[in-house]
Structure formats: C-alpha cells, structure tokens
Amino acid sequence: MNKVWIITGAGRGMGVDIARAALAAGHSVVATGRDPARVARAIGGDPAKLLAVKLDVTSADDARAAVDATVERFGRVDVVVNNAGNFFAGFFEELSPEQVRQQVETNLFGPMNVTRAVLPVMRRQRAGLVVTISSTAGIVGQAFCSAYAAAKFGVEGFMESINPELAPFGIRTMVVEPGFFRTELLSADSTVYAEPSIDDYADHTRQTVAAWNAMNGAQSGDPAKLARALVHLAGLDEPPRRWVAGADAVAAVEQKAKELLAQADAHRELSSSLALDP
C-alpha cells in the first residue's frame, strides 16, 4: 500500500538513502532539510511522489509547517522518520555548555518537535509509525561522546515511553540503533570537535580525531541496505519497537545486556534488602 512518509535530514547522508528507498517501494515522500532545493537535487525521483520542504528540526514552527504541507499535498502521514542529527565530539570538560545544549537541541528535542507536530494527524487517522534514528551510542556510552550519548540515551527513553501512550490509537514506534555505517556523520558538515584546551586530554584528542578522520568514508555498513531494510520493517503489521542495525551494533547491544545483568546481580543481596522493616 502506498504510504506517505516524512523524513528529516534528507538532504544528505542516510536521509537521502531512506527517501530513495521509500520512493522505490512506491511510497510518497516529504523529504525535509534546511535547504529544500538541495534536498530535491540529492534525492531526485518522480516529482509527483516527492515533496521537498524546509525544516529545521530545532524549530517547532518549522515542524508544524512541514506536517501541514504534507497533509495539504498528500492528505495524511503514515510514517515519520526522525533522522536529522549532528555530532559534537570531545571530552566533556572541553565541550562548552553551548555545544552540549546544541547537541541535545538537535538530536533529542528535534525528534520531539517533529513527533509532537505529527501526532495529532496520526491520532485522527488511528494509525501511523514514528521512527527515530538513535545509535549504539544510545545504548553504550564511550569517551569523547558524552554530549552525543546523552542526547541518544534521551532518545531511547523518549521512544520507549511514548510507545504505550500511543499504542491505544494504533500508532507504533520504532527506534533504530545503527552501528558504523558509511554516512556523512563524521564529515566536517556533521561533526564539530571541541576546541582542545586541557593538556591532560591533548594526546588522546589527537589520536581520536585522527582515527575518526581515517574511519570517515571507510565504515563497513551500507546505508542503502539499511534504508531498504527500514522500509521493509516499516511495512510490517507490527514493526519492531527496537531495531539493532548492523553486526557491530548487535555485538555492542549483546555485550551491554550482559554487563547490565552482571551489574544487577553483583550486589543482589544488598539491593534486595532495602525495603522498610515490617
């Protein structure tokens, strides 16, 4: 069945692949970004099925306008993909408060803005699917990623919590946790590194930046395959609430699950002895 998709961050990277995969499957796509002309050029395809719309996800007004444009053009919204994001990398002490706020504003409040705008339409329809692209960084924290992981851990909690709120209205949710895919996340357009200012971190910073620059464009994951798989899963009657994407992501989630169980069990007797005495 032809569905109507809204995809954020569709001017480059994974958003382009998701838009192309949805169009190839016969769906109608509202592809959004800060520069609609760039979005349209990047995706191509049948203009009868594609609408490029301006959307800065940090703007609630933009989000509402994009949803209104979608309904005006196509009459409904079946799938929204919260894909837009950026990456502020560096040691926490060297990241400025403004950079941390910008990270959370885009990667957490951005999906919230778009989801808030689309939910009234989906509730009226009594149907819809909200997809948010998270990351293995939303499951496993690591050095140099404190701001990014904070936002993605927030996405995980947000998506997990709205699922039972929306299920009575026929609205499903899916959080996607990709591993390393050959996207533009590590490019200069998407990644901002903290300005080095603390000698104790200097060597580690140089090594990490060099390693990530070398990784850019050499990641093992194929974003086009991810996009096609996502379109397939979105078409299921019961899409998965969580989709771990990539063999490296599966390994990371399995390891985290083992660690959580071990941590819960480590002080089981003490943890279980904290009830009020009768």
When pLDDT is averaged across residues 228-234 and rounded to a whole number, the result is 97
Q: What is the pTM of this model?
A: 0.93
Query: SS3 letters for the chain?
Result: CCCEEEECCCCCCHHHHHHHHHHHCCCEEEEEECCHHHHHHHHCCCCCCEEEEECCCCCHHHHHHHHHHHHHHHCCCCEEEECCCCEEEECHHHCCHHHHHHHHHHHHHHHHHHHHHHHHHHHHHCCEEEEEECCHHHCCCCCCEHHHHHHHHHHHHHHHHHHHHHHHHCEEEEEEEECCECCCCCCCCCEEECCCCCHHHHHHHHHHHHHHHHHCCCCCECHHHHHHHHHHHHCCCCCCCEEEECHHHHHHHHHHHHHHHHHHHHCHHHHCCCCCCC
| Alpha carbons within 13 A on the beta-carbon side of 263 | 6
| % residues pLDDT > 90 (the chain) | 82
Pick the CATH number of 4-271 from 3.40.50.720, 3.40.50.300, 3.40.50.920, 3.50.50.60: 3.40.50.720
Give the residue with greater pLDDT, 196 vs 50: 50
When pLDDT is averaged across residues 120-136 and rounded to a whole number, the result is 97
- pLDDT value at residue 217: 59
Q: pLDDT band at residue 189, thresholds of 50, 70 and 90? A: low
- In Å, how far are 105, 116, 143 from 59, measured between CA atoms? 10, 12, 30
180: pLDDT strictly greater than 90: no
187: pLDDT strictly greater than 80: no
Active site residues: 134, 148, 152
- In Å, how far are 17, 25, 74, 99 from 230, measured between CA atoms? 10, 11, 22, 31
- pLDDT value at residue 146: 96
Q: pLDDT band at residue 195, thresholds of 50, 70 and 90? A: confident
12: pLDDT strictly greater than 80: yes
228: pLDDT strictly greater than 70: yes
- In terms of Cα–Cα distance, which of 129, 105, 133 is closest to 118? 129
Domain ranges of the chain: 4-271
74: pLDDT strictly greater than 70: yes
